[in-house]
Amino acid sequence: MLHPIQSLTPQLCGIIHQHIAISFMDTDFCFSNVNASFCEMIGYDSAELLGRPFCAFCEEPNNLVLPMHQEHSSSELCIRRKSGEAL
């Protein structure tokens, strides 16, 4: 059985990636993949993000506690753009 995102047409996938900011992190919460919309949103290019920890872009990285060993999690955090502006 295909994952729902895999069953989308190539055109629809292109629209999603063009208009929705998407990022993926590895088990150490380092960026493993980002799309152009995410890069544009925070002002960094992908080479500056990949392999770096997510908390490096948070407003208060020392207070960041990410849930471990959970398949899915949801949190609200303030991310800083390269310009220093908060998202």
Q: Write phi, then psi, for 80 (nearest 5 degrees).
A: -100, 135
Whether 37 is covered by a domain: the verdict is yes
Give pLDDT, residue 59: 76
Whether 9 is covered by a domain: the verdict is yes
Amino acid at 53: P
* Range of 53-57, 60-64, 67-71 with top mean pLDDT: 53-57
Give pLDDT, residue 83: 92
- Please give the sequence-ordered ranges of beta strands (E in DSSP) within 1-87, or none if there are none: 23-25, 31-34
Overall domain count for the chain:
1
pLDDT in tens, 4-56: 555 667 766 677 767 788 898 998 989 999 988 899 999 999 999 999 998 88
Whether 27 is covered by a domain: the verdict is yes
Strand partners, 23: 34
Range of the domain at 24: 4-53
CB 46 within 8 A of CB 58: no
Helix (H, G, I), strand (E, B) or coil at 33: strand
Whether 71 is covered by a domain: the verdict is no
Give pLDDT, residue 8: 63
Record the tokens describing residue 36, joined without a space: 């152009």
Give pLDDT, residue 75: 61
